[in-house]
Amino acid sequence: MSDAMNGKTVVITGATGGIGFYSALGIAGLGAEVILIGRKSERAQEAAVRIVKETGNSKVAHLVGDVSTLAGIQQLANDINQRVSQIDVFINNAGYLGNAFRRNEDGIEMHFAVNVLAPWKLTHALMPALKSSSSPRVLNISGGDKPTAVDVTNLQAEKAFKGLITYTHSKSILEAMSIALSRRLESDGVCVNIVFPGRASTSMTQSLSVKGLPGPMKIMMPFFRIFFREDGGKSALEASRSTVFAATDPTLEGVTGRYFDSKSNEKKLHPSSYDDRVHRQIIDVIERL
């Protein structure tokens, strides 16, 4: 175990499996106190035990939380604030990929609820702990493919639900929201950046079905099954490297509003992600909810 992150506290959602788990593993290996967030207590505990065993870092804990509902987001924020008074790095890693149109108990489309609304609300709810850090970072983990345009008239799949494309669009919305958030929190000294870890075989990607592929894309299902077949965590480990970099690299201290690709290289997002009008419309929807 290295001591590069000794004295730092890192909180990461969706950390009990896949890219989130390996991100937590890599960060814990650098000596940070790591709080894992997962939906199931047993799985979260198992992940924490494994990380302690593999890194030798005993400063690993877990909390149970569900970011798919407004009540769940608020409860998780309360639990995190009770557990830690300072957060140096907060990683919004939890994501949702659905094969059918679904709303949560609040009537919010699930991709928007988990992939956009939860990161916004959790970050704001954890601001006191973030501001207690001398150099706080927030990382929002993107997905899908290369950055694409945000359609502000289709934030909750109002036009049509298209499975994988709806998921990818929700991540484009997340990217634009993250730029808006970075501008809003800059005066508080809180840095917000976006990371694209790349594709990996995880329980989420393996859950993709023919139903979740729109139109002609259905013929690509055999390819997806091969690409996302179980690989013992190899691809998830590789994909986690960009998150670990953005969370821990000292050269990123004070850097905000940036996007890093799967190779940890800074890239530009789609122009719509920097558009103030797009930001206002996304935030208007969030605040109404």
The total of other beta-carbon atoms located within 10 Å of residue 222's CB is 8
Return the pLDDT at 146: 78
Query: Taking the alpha carbons of 20, 169, 68, 202 in that order, is the dihedral positive or negative?
Result: negative
Rounded CA separation 245/265 (Å): 10
Rounded CA separation 198/204 (Å): 13
Return the pLDDT at 145: 73
Residue 148, C-beta contacts closer than 8 angstroms, at least 6 positions apart: 168, 169, 172, 270
Among residues 62, 58, 9, the alpha carbon closest in space to that of 32 is found at: 9
Return the pLDDT at 233: 82
Reply yes or no on whether the pLDDT at 144 is more than 90.
no
Q: What is the largest CA-CA distance in the chain?
A: 51
Tell me the per-residue pLDDT of 155-211, one tens digit each, with 9 for 90 and over.
Answer: 999 999 999 899 999 999 999 999 999 999 999 999 999 999 987 767 666 666 666
Among residues 118, 112, 117, the alpha carbon closest in space to that of 167 is found at: 112
Tell me the per-residue pLDDT of 22-69, one tens digit each, with 9 for 90 and over.
Answer: 999 999 999 999 999 999 999 999 999 999 999 999 999 999 999 999
Residue 251 corresponds to which amino acid? T
Q: Find out if CATH 3.40.50.720 is the number for domain 9-200+236-288.
A: yes
Q: Are 143 and 167 in contact (CB under 8 A)?
A: yes
Tell me the per-residue pLDDT of 81-134, one tens digit each, with 9 for 90 and over.
Answer: 999 999 999 999 999 999 999 999 999 999 999 999 999 999 999 999 999 999
Tell me the per-residue pLDDT of 224-242, one tens digit each, with 9 for 90 and over.
Answer: 565 567 778 888 999 999 9
